[in-house]
Structure 1
């Protein structure tokens, strides 16, 4: 299983923003510098997270972003499902382009499907709050 960089960046933005107090704003520049990700990538991710109503944007000279929901209300599994367009692990998972001759009798797709279900079951057991419970260590690693 390989998640897109976009999903990785979204999780990082939420981790960073989730460690801020309710009144404290994070900035795209600040997130970009901490993670060494281009500001444009962070901006696109932030735009999507705002549309998903997970974070809110405050405009203006002293603007930035903050959590729109408490970290304990953001389920990691649901978030990953929303951000990932599809989970085509092998060709046989894609009905439109499956040309594998053994597909009708192959059990590999069933094994991989079980693995995918287990993957999400684990992710769905965690919230953003679980990802930031070691906040002191994370802050130190980020240089904050």
Structure 2
């Protein structure tokens, strides 16, 4: 299983913001820190704001910050909110499935269990568990 780049950037942004949750950060600062596209990160941050994970303010002195405490954000919930789907194989998507053995296949059940276990494992941890210290955020360029 591989998470999308969108989810990866979302998680990294939240980890960055959690280093100093009360501070306002610019999207440019986060993009430059990680060496990622500012334009792509703008879309990610917009989605994080829509979901209520970050708040943003425009204008001089504006920026983004966490909308809640890092210990309130469970990683599994974040992944489910950011990932468009968790289809491990084609047959998980009933609309586009063309597999000819789906009715007899047992693999889908096992993969479904694995996907649930993945999310359940992530849900045992919060953003606070993976937050990067301020020193590490500033120092790891």
> Fold conserved (TM > 0.5)?
yes
5+ residue gaps, structure 2, are: none
Q: How many residues align?
A: 141
Q: Counterpart of 2:133?
A: 135
Q: Is the 8 A contact 2:21 2:69 kept in 1?
A: no
Residue pairs, 1:51-130, within 5 angstroms:
51-130=50-129
Show the 5 A alignment for 1:3-18.
3-18=3-18
CA distance in 1, matches of 2:138, 2:57: 26
Cα distance, 1:124–1:21 mapped onto 2, change above 3 Å:
closer
Match of 1:47 in 2: 46
Please, what TM-score do these two structures have when normalized by structure 1?
Answer: 0.90
> What do the CA deviations read for 1:98-118 (whole angstroms, capped 9, x no partner)?
222221111111111111111
2:37 is matched with 38
Give the alignment's TM-score, normalised by structure 2.
0.92
| 4+ runs deviating over 3 angstroms | none
CA distance in 1, matches of 2:21, 2:110: 44
C-alpha distance 61-137 of structure 1, shift in aligned 2 (>3 A): closer
In structure 2, C-alpha distance between the alignment counterparts of 1:115 and 1:137, rounded to whole Å: 36
Report the alpha carbon displacement of residue 84 of structure 1 after superposing the two structures with TM. 1.1
